[in-house]
Amino acid sequence: MLGMTKLENMIGDLLRARGLKLATAESCTGGLIANRITDVPGSSDYFLGGVTAYAYEAKVALLGVSWETLKAHGAVSRETVLEMARGVRKALSADVAISVSGIAGPGGGLPNKPVGTTWFGLSAPDGEWAYLRQFDGDRIQNKSFAADTALQILIDYLDGNLK
């Protein structure tokens, strides 16, 4: 991964160049992605805001995630992160939205979703993408890895490199 400042600055440059506005929907990262984006002076030019929705109730009330999705797939799932990204994009009238939901640890892991399991979603006018990553750090490291990954996904999207 690139250094912290470099990722944030790259995102700002790319969003400005394309005239796009960004929103974030975070669970396991607890606002870390939004914090890092706003570390860049002038980020109000392209960052509309973020929603930290940790509990199921917050995901439903603030992001429009359906109870049915949460019951069927859980918070850490492709379906949930796509609904989170779609919901924050709509709520803040953003062009692009990134979302993250994962199991930071040390507890909370399940046999089919061990600690470090993290899903990312991106919603934009030209499509929606979801990615699964598995991190192998402690709680703080997993949150940092997740924020780095979300920022890199944004850069890949803005550069036209999402697959």
- Show me where the domains of the chain are located: 4-158
d(CA 48, CA 142): 25
pLDDT at 5: 53
Lowest mean pLDDT among 64-68, 73-77, 91-95, 158-162: 158-162
**Percent of the chain at pLDDT above 70?**
96
CATH number for the region 4-158 comes to 3.90.950.20
In the predicted model, is pLDDT for residue 22 greater than 60? yes
113 DSSP assignment:
B
In the predicted model, is pLDDT for residue 1 greater than 50? no
Alpha carbons within 13 A on the beta-carbon side of 63: 37
Nearest to 59 by CA among 46, 48, 73: 73
Average pLDDT over residues 76-93: 98
